[in-house]
């Protein structure tokens, strides 16, 4: 099978900046498209068990969709790279070396996913790479000191790579010129059925995690690393998502579904997602300590995307590999502090296939 990498114009921002789309493909096995606006995933075409190829990512076919006001005000971050710090921060602040950094709110009174002009809204530089065994698009961005009131100038590179086996990888490398905090992730929304009018509640999910992070009424971790045993968040053996979503568990009520970080075990596959109808399967491996699982509880049909579909509630799941949310305010969580000159390095890989 042959690898191919193509790039072309995707549109222009109101500022006049041209946005490009790149498509990484392996014959009829897998095809991923990404744009340099937000280093965003736009399309992922996969065959089902019968060979039918469908796009499984929520999103838009045009740049206008990603910058439309109706979409932007819903804070969905579909397919985008989010940063500097994914998630929320207690009281919209953190303390580093005795100094308090106040973070600007962007979702009501909450600072979310990097702030008002996070990395999802930036135009990234790009470079492509091709060999006999793999192809890649490397996006890079320099975040200036003080951007969204975070300290330090960060040079960040996000790479999307596809190899001859069909393995798809995300990697992050970053450095800062002064001590700071960093916790990026990708916020892709996936529905393995390829039918965005249907929910993902019937998908089977498994995660290699003995603990998860309960959250408070402000969607912030309470600080507890709670064992999943004897809770509805026990996905150590595969079960349908609706078995948790439809429960009367207090944590499910707070989130309106699942919107929780799982504390990943290090060995083996960290997560498996299966659509029982198309038989498509996703297997996930990551160096990150956490997996934020979000069942698109706040999609509401407020905007239209691909195929002119107004994406309904729970029409996708997000699998965000990252450090724990609010780690800059929780001393016992794995640290997201990045020292001057230190290299941040994180990677996540996906293998897509079909079950028998």
Question: Which residues are the active-site residues?
Answer: 187, 320
Q: Give the integer Cα–Cα distance in Å for 79 and 271.
A: 19
For CA atoms 276, 277, 282, 288, give the dihedral sign.
Answer: negative
Give the H/E segment covering residue 67: helix 63-67
Torsion of CA 318, 324, 327, 331, to 10 degrees: 170
**Would you say 236 and 212 are in contact if contact means Cβ atoms under 8 Å apart?**
no
Q: Give the integer Cα–Cα distance in Å for 66 and 57.
A: 14
Tokens linked to 41: 């995933």
Q: Give the integer Cα–Cα distance in Å for 254 and 264.
A: 22
Where do the H-state alpha helices sit in 138-294?
242-245, 250-255
Q: Quick check: bond before 84 cis, omega within 30?
A: yes
């Amino acid at each position: 099978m042959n690898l191919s990498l193509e790039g072309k114009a995707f549109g222009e921002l109101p500022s006049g900046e041209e946005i490009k789309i790149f498509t990484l493909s392996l014959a009829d096995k897998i095809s991923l498209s990404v744009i340099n606006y937000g280093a965003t995933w736009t399309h992922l075409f996969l065959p089902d068990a019968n060979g039918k190829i469908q796009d499984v990512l929520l999103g838009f076919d045009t740049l206008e969709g990603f910058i439309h006001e109706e979409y932007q005000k819903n804070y969905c971050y579909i397919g985008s790279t989010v940063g500097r710090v994914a998630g929320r921060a207690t009281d919209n602040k953190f303390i580093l070396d005795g100094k308090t950094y106040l973070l600007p709110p962007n979702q009501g009174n909450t600072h979310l996913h990097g702030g008002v002009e996070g990395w999802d809204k930036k135009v990234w530089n790009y470079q492509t790479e091709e060999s006999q065994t793999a192809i890649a698009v490397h996006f890079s961005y320099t975040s200036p000191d003080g951007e969204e009131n975070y300290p330090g100038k960060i040079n960040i590179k996000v790479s999307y790579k596809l190899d001859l086996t069909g393995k798809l990888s995300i990697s992050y490398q970053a450095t800062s010129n002064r001590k700071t905090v960093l916790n990026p992730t990708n916020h892709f929304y996936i529905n393995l059925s390829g039918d965005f009018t249907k929910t993902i509640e019937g998908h089977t999910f498994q995660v290699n995690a003995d603990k998860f992070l309960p959250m408070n009424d402000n969607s912030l971790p309470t600080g507890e690393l709670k064992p999943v045993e004897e809770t509805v968040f026990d996905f150590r053996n595969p079960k349908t998502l609706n078995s948790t979503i439809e429960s009367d568990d207090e944590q499910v009520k707070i989130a309106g579904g699942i919107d929780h970080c799982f504390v990943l075990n290090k060995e083996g596959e960290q997560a498996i997602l299966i659509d029982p109808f198309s038989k498509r399967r996703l297997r996930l491996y990551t160096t990150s300590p956490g997996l934020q699982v979000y069942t698109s509880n706040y999609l509401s049909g407020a905007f239209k995307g691909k195929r002119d579909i107004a994406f309904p509630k729970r029409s996708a799941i997000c699998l965000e590999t990252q450090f724990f949310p609010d780690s800059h305010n929780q001393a016992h969580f794995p640290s997201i502090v990045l020292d001057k000159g230190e290299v941040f390095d994180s990677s996540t890989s996906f293998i897509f296939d079909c079950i028998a």
